[in-house]
Amino acid sequence: MELLFETIRQVFALSGELTEAVRLTEGGIHDTYRIRLDTGKIYIFQKMHTGVFRNPEAVMQNIMHVTAYLENDNPEMQTLHFYRTDSGAYLYQNWRVMDCIPGRSCKICHDLNQIRKAGAMFGKFQNAVSGIDANRLKPVISGFHDTRNYFDQLLNLHSDLPEAQILTKWQEQACEVFDYYQKHKNLLKITHNDMKCSNLLFDSSGNPVAVIDLDTVMSGIPVYDFGDAVRSFASNTNSSEPDLSKVGLNLDKFRAFASGWLSQTEYSSEERKLLIPAVFSVTAELAVRYFTDYLQGNLYFKTDNPEQNLIRARNQIRLAQEILNHQSEMEKSL
Ligand code: GN1
Ligand code: MG
């Protein structure tokens, strides 16, 4: 590995000697390393999963457009900075290099004040990117939040496991928000599409500093970003927790996140009604995605063992059930 990192360092013309390489395991798709050079500078070296992102060049073009837009429109917002090779490319054998933004991410967050600030930061991000002309960004994973398609794919696998039965029963309810946006395509906007807790960096005082992971910034369903963020911020556990008795939705966390989010975003009354249903839709969709990947041999999400995607699916099924149980309380507190 060290030889490869040294090649990448040279290809991207980074000066200094490599002193430390640490594998980061939070991301579920790419291979990611934090690289320290003797100049004191710290970089992220990341190999893109081209089975998931079939056109990594298009991903980088999108990111360049998004970061340039943010730097111009919201200069106070820190964003990602990628390096180019001598020939001007952002990729070398599907590896890319970016500055490591100082800050820490969390898989689960318990401080309500921090969660409220996170809601405001993510809301501000959504507000900012929604101004990008959708024609400028390529759909780098087609049907990425096509909830109906994920459910149809699962049905086609004819699984008789209990998880398949629960999920199938939920299909129509889970697809309501997606179907609404299919009928009102003018409401689709540029969104983050992966607005989970760990895609926000915080400083040591718990203030959010930057939204990271811009790979899937493209046209999407605005309320799904809210749903995804609530799914991860308001959960009692992270999605790998196997003990289902611990899995649940914390309403205080939900209220904290939602108040921050709504301080930065605006919706028509019609769209606002979809915010809470979207929390269920995105969670059920992710359960289907994990479960389908398990049934198909774990080709999409990174796993440490063959059962991990099944454990994740069960966790998200339980969380989706908890979301349904608390739906009216969430509605009331919006
Ligand atoms: C994946 O790679 P990562 O961890 O940022 C996935 C998201 C899921 C998330 C669940 C391109 O994101 O859709 O919500 O895992 N990204 C892709 O943790 O499929
Ligand atoms: Mg991602």
pLDDT of residue 176: 98
CA of 245 to the centre of ligand 2 (A): 27
Same domain (yes/no): 75, 142 = no
| pLDDT per residue as tens digits for the range 61-95 | 999 999 999 999 999 999 999 999 999 999 999 99
- CATH number, domain at 212? 3.90.1200.10
Same domain (yes/no): 30, 133 = no
Residue to mutate (ligand 1; options 196, 226, 240, 312; most atoms within 8 A of CB): 196
CA of 209 to the centre of ligand 2 (A): 18
Do 299 and 51 contact (CB within 8 A), yes or no? yes
Q: Is there a domain that residue 2 lies in?
A: no
CA of 199 to the centre of ligand 2 (A): 8
Same domain (yes/no): 126, 235 = yes
| pLDDT per residue as tens digits for the range 196-245 | 999 999 999 999 999 999 999 999 999 999 999 999 999 999 999 999 99
pLDDT band, very low/low/confident/very high, at 30 (cuts 50, 70, 90): very high
Residue whose entry in the numeric block shows the structure tokens 């398990």: 294
Q: Is there a domain that residue 269 lies in?
A: yes
Residue 245, domain extent: 112-333
Same domain (yes/no): 131, 248 = yes
- DSSP class of residue 195 equals -
| Number of domains the chain is built from | 2
Do 135 and 218 contact (CB within 8 A), yes or no? no
Ligand 1: which atom is nearest the Cα of residue 193?
A: 13
Ligand 1: which atom is nearest the Cα of residue 215?
A: 11
For residue 31, pLDDT beyond 90: yes
| pLDDT per residue as tens digits for the range 249-308 | 999 999 999 999 999 999 999 999 999 999 999 999 999 999 999 999 999 999 999 999
Same domain (yes/no): 94, 116 = no
Residue to mutate (ligand 1; options 301, 309, 311; most atoms within 8 A of CB): 301
Same domain (yes/no): 142, 284 = yes
| Mean pLDDT within 305-331 | 98
| Mean pLDDT within 9-26 | 96
CA of 272 to the centre of ligand 1 (A): 25
Do 70 and 79 contact (CB within 8 A), yes or no? yes
Q: Is there a domain that residue 1 lies in?
A: no
Same domain (yes/no): 138, 284 = yes
Closest C-alpha among 150, 297, 186, 320 to residue 244: 320
Same domain (yes/no): 151, 217 = yes
Q: Is there a domain that residue 146 lies in?
A: yes
CA of 207 to the centre of ligand 1 (A): 23
Q: Is there a domain that residue 63 lies in?
A: yes
Same domain (yes/no): 199, 170 = yes
3-state helix, strand, coil in the chain (%, to 5): 50, 15, 40
Ligand 1: which atom is nearest the Cα of residue 213?
A: 5
Q: What's the longest Cα–Cα distance across the chain?
A: 57
Q: How far is CA 138 from CA 13, 141, 144, 151, 292, in A?
A: 29, 9, 12, 24, 26
Same domain (yes/no): 210, 309 = yes
For residue 182, pLDDT beyond 90: yes
pLDDT of residue 1: 87
pLDDT of residue 261: 98
Ligand 1: which atom is nearest the Cα of residue 30?
A: 2
Give nearest CA residue, ligand 1 atom 7: 194
205: left (phi over 0), alpha (psi -120 to 50) or beta: alpha
CA of 6 to the centre of ligand 1 (A): 29
For residue 329, pLDDT beyond 90: yes
CA of 229 to the centre of ligand 1 (A): 12
pLDDT of residue 234: 98
Strand partners, 43: 35, 99
Q: Is there a domain that residue 321 lies in?
A: yes
> Which residues have any ligand 1 atom within 6 Å of their CB?
27-29, 52, 194, 196, 213, 216, 239, 286
Ligand 1: which atom is nearest the Cα of residue 232?
A: 18
**Residue type (1 letter), 25:** T
Q: How far apart are CA 101 and CA 98, in angstroms?
A: 9
pLDDT of residue 113: 97
Q: How far apart are CA 249 and CA 213, in angstroms?
A: 25
| pLDDT per residue as tens digits for the range 89-127 | 999 999 999 999 999 999 999 999 999 999 999 999 999
Sign of CA dihedral 61, 62, 66, 72: positive
Ligand 1: which atom is nearest the Cα of residue 239?
A: 18
Same domain (yes/no): 307, 170 = yes
